[in-house]
Every structure is written in C-alpha cells, then in structure tokens.
Structure 1
Amino acid sequence: MTARVYLKPPWMQRHIANRLVPLFQRSMISRLTVKGRRSGRERTVPVAVLDHEGERYLVSYRGLSDWALNLSATSEGRLTNRGRAEDITVEEVPEADRPPLLAAYRERYNGMPTVAGVLHALPDPADHPVFRIHK
C-alpha cells in the first residue's frame, strides 16, 4: 500500500481562511458537502470549481484530501455557491487525463495564496484526485 500523498493546510488556513474565503471570493469559491466515507456525516469544505472546455471539475490540489476520499467513495455531493445549492454526481478523471486539467487549474487559481506552492511541491498528476462534475 502506498502512502497517502497530502499536504495538510496550515492551521490559519484550516481554521480562519477556509471560513472567510467563501464570503469574500464568492465568484471563485463554492462549498462542497459530501458524506463521510466512514461516519456518514456530512462534511463541508470550500472548493474552487474549474470550468474547462465546457466541463466542470473539482481538483484536490493538496493531494488525497479527506473530501476527495469521501467523494471517491460516494460519487455524489452538493455544491453551494451564492446561496444556490446543486446536487451533483462525479466521476474520477483517470491519471493520464489530469495534466491539462491541472495546468488549467494552476493558470486559473495561481493567484490564490497556496495553490502555486502546493502544485510545485506535488508535481505528479497522480497525487491530485480530479473529479468531473455531472448534474
């Protein structure tokens, strides 16, 4: 079994920025709610939805995060943006198809404080679960 590759966000991001960013970056940040793979309890995290070539994607840019593991297990969740909620289903993008999506994610969200550094620290597309969103 290979080790889980994940760069845990610093305390300030987890406890302060993750709560404030959805309030101030509404055009960029949505909230993803997904059931826990073990607990079954709903968990909500801020995510940036990537629009690319007419499709929408969720990119776990920090690696194999809990939300990515949960989404992989359930294949469904709820996205909320600007007070509108949408139930979604997802499919995981194969590793071979991830490089152009990660490049698009980097280009779109490079201005966010941690994105460039994390993607530089984890350059392998296999380390980043990516999910294609379906309604």
Structure 2
Amino acid sequence: MDNATRHIPPTRVDAIVNKIANLLPKLGVSIMGSRLLAVRGRKSGEWRTTMVNVMTAADGARYLVAPRGHVQWVRNLRVAGDGELRLGRKTEQFTATEVADADKVPLLRLYLEKWGWEVGKFFEGLTKDSTDAELIAIAPGFPVFRIA
C-alpha cells in the first residue's frame, strides 16, 4: 500500500466498538486524553465526529495522529483547517496545522509509547523502540496535525 494514500477502514467489529467508544466522550468520560473530534465535512459542511487521542508533547504542544492513515476526518480537517474537541458539554475550538513527514519521527514515537497498546496493529509491527529510519519510512502514511 502506498504510504501517501494509506487508509485502513474499520472492520464491522471496529465499527461497533467505535460506536460504543464514541459515546464515552459524549458522556464526559475521557480515557487517557480521548476526545470526540468534530470537523465539518468537506462536501456536506455538516459536523462529522470520531473519537481521537489528543497527544501532548513535552513542550506542551498538542497533536492528533491518524493511525488508520488518510481517513475521512483527516481529509475533512485538511480542508476545514479547524474543528472542535468535545468532552461532555465542554467544547474546545482549535486550528490545525499538518506536520511535515520529516518532523513526525519523535511524534510517532511518543504516540506509540502512549497508545501502542491500542493502535499498534495499524503500525505494521513498529513500536516506540523502532529506529528513526523505520519511522521515517512510514511517516507519509500517518497524518499528524498540531492543534492550537
């Protein structure tokens, strides 16, 4: 699969689990920083939501990583440039800037350190201990956005 167009759609089981998991942030429950990401659809203009892990780096900057690749929320966020993070009744608006592939290695490593147990299956056997060269090779397949 070409890293630039990498997209792993959810299985039927994933879709069921995702529906359940998406309820948690709606109810105000966050697991390890999870939030409900809301982004306007690039064609419809309607709000689209999915659960994401919000990652905070050592310098305090926050990021969203797309472990399934160039999925719909990624495409929508590229067009919209902004969105919302929701948890219960709290809504936080943000703007997003996509991170260049060359700058993703430490971010992918941190993401795997924090959530590898949950999303490791999408990283084709790579872990937080993978080499920089291995992480650089996969970087185009894993969109990353800095949010502020």
TM surpasses 0.5:
yes
Do residues 131 (structure 1) and 145 (structure 2) align? Answer: yes
* Contact 1:26/1:82 (8 A) holds in 2: no
- Root mean square deviation of aligned Cα: 1.9
Rounded to whole Å, the distance in 2 between the matches of 1:42 and 1:84 is: 16
Residue 4 of structure 1 deviates from its aligned partner by 2.3
Which residue matches 1:33? 38
Deviation string, structure 1 residues 24-83 (Cα, Å, up to 9, x no partner): 861332100001111111100111111112111000111001000100111100001243
Gaps of 5+ in 1: none
User: 1:52 and 2:66 equivalent?
Assistant: no
Q: Which is richer in strand?
A: 1
Judged with a 3 Å threshold, the aligned counterparts in structure 2 of structure 1 residues 56 and 27 are, in CA distance, closer, same or farther, namely: same
- 1:68: which partner in 2? 74
CA distance in 2, matches of 1:68, 1:106: 19
Higher mean alpha-carbon deviation, 61-70 vs 118-127, is at 118-127
The TM-score normalised by the length of structure 1 is 0.87
1:7 paired with 2:13, answer no
* Counterpart position of 1:104: 110
Rg (Cα) greater in structure: 2
- Please state whether the residue corresponding to 1:101 is helix, strand or coil: helix
Aligned length: 130
Q: Which runs of 4+ in 1 moved over 6 A?
A: none
CA gap of 1:121–1:42, structure 2 versus 1, over 3 A, is farther
- Return the match for 1:80 from 83, 86, 92: 86
What is the TM-score when the length of structure 2 is the normalising length?
0.80
Structure 2: stretches of 5+ with no match in the other structure = 127-134
Paired-residue identity, %? 35
